Amino acid sequence: MDYMIRATAAEGQIRAFAATTKELVEVARAAHNTSPVATAALGRTLTGTAMLGIMMKGDRDVLTVQIKGDGPIMGITATADAKGHVKGFVGQPEVLLHANAKGKLDVGGAVGRGYMRVIKDLGLKEPYTGEVELQTGEIAEDFTYYLTLSEQVPSAVGLGVLMNKENTVRRAGGFILQLMPGVKEEVVDALEQKLAGVNSVTSMLDAGDTPEMILERLLGDFGLEILDTIPVSFVCNCSKDRMAKALMAIGRKELESIVADGHSEELRCHFCNSSYIFEAEELAELLRIVSA
């Protein structure tokens, strides 16, 4: 079962999140039939986005992360709410690349150069939008840079996805550590030393570490206190009704030409790849509603 934990340490001077996301990344991989490098890129993004999601307060708050680079994956999009639901997709799920210089899946090469945008719909008039340049395209560094620069909360982010030989997901997860306002200099120094000395998130996941164990390794010396545990899963809220609304929104002229073709129309949800078929009569009915 996938879940995230929320924690604090150093008497509230550090806040932390950690997640295990193997199941949901596997759901995403199977839905989109992603290549290994695309699975890693999407899985890291889904994990980071899910953790950003639970930082929001409101039941109806929604957060979207868009990674737009010039690499062959043609961008990554993920959306999460504050309740542990996340969904996402990549532009080109079949992208194949050689391993990078470290022998790892070349996520940075797949993403390329560009920017990361975070859009938060917090039920206010205007959504909040923050945008930063991609640092490496390896995703974790880009989340770190976004949180530190755009949200101005100094952060450390680790995200990892490990694959089985047959390219299914073996492990996925990550963490976010954040320094709260008023943090003491000695806490910052001690944490920096700690981070420099611990294994990468990939090795921790490889060793089978749970989110609790990951935070214990990172913050065990800082009086780690786990506050709550939140189940996390890949959930898409698409439906035929929503697809019908999308069809009606393309405009009357467009819809008229589709109806004039006399064929049925298949629509696919970007986020979960579910297919919805609209028969010719259903399309004609939508056109009647739009024209009324």
Q: Which residues bind Zn ion (CB under 5 A)?
A: 236, 238, 269, 271-272, 274
Which residues make Cβ contacts (< 8 Å) with residue 102, sequence separation at least 6?
A: none
CB 151 within 8 A of CB 120: no
By beta-carbon proximity to Zn ion, the closer residue of 80 and 236 is 236
Could you tell me the smallest distance in angstroms from the CB atom of residue 269 to Zn ion? 3
* C-alpha span between 23 and 171 (Å, rounded): 8
Residues ≥6 apart with Cβ < 8 Å to 156: 144, 175, 176, 177, 191, 195
* DSSP state for residue 73 in the 8-state scheme: T
Q: How far is the CB of 277 from Zn ion (least distance, A)?
A: 15
State which residue, 56 or 269, has the beta carbon closest to Zn ion.
269
Q: How far apart are CA 279 and CA 168, in angstroms?
A: 35
CA distance 163 to 170: 5
Query: For residues 92 and 274, which CB has a smaller minimum distance to Zn ion in the complex?
Result: 274
Comparing CB distances to Zn ion, the nearer of 191 and 236 is 236
**For Zn ion, the closer CB: 28 or 172:** 28
Cβ at position 32, least distance to Zn ion in Å: 11
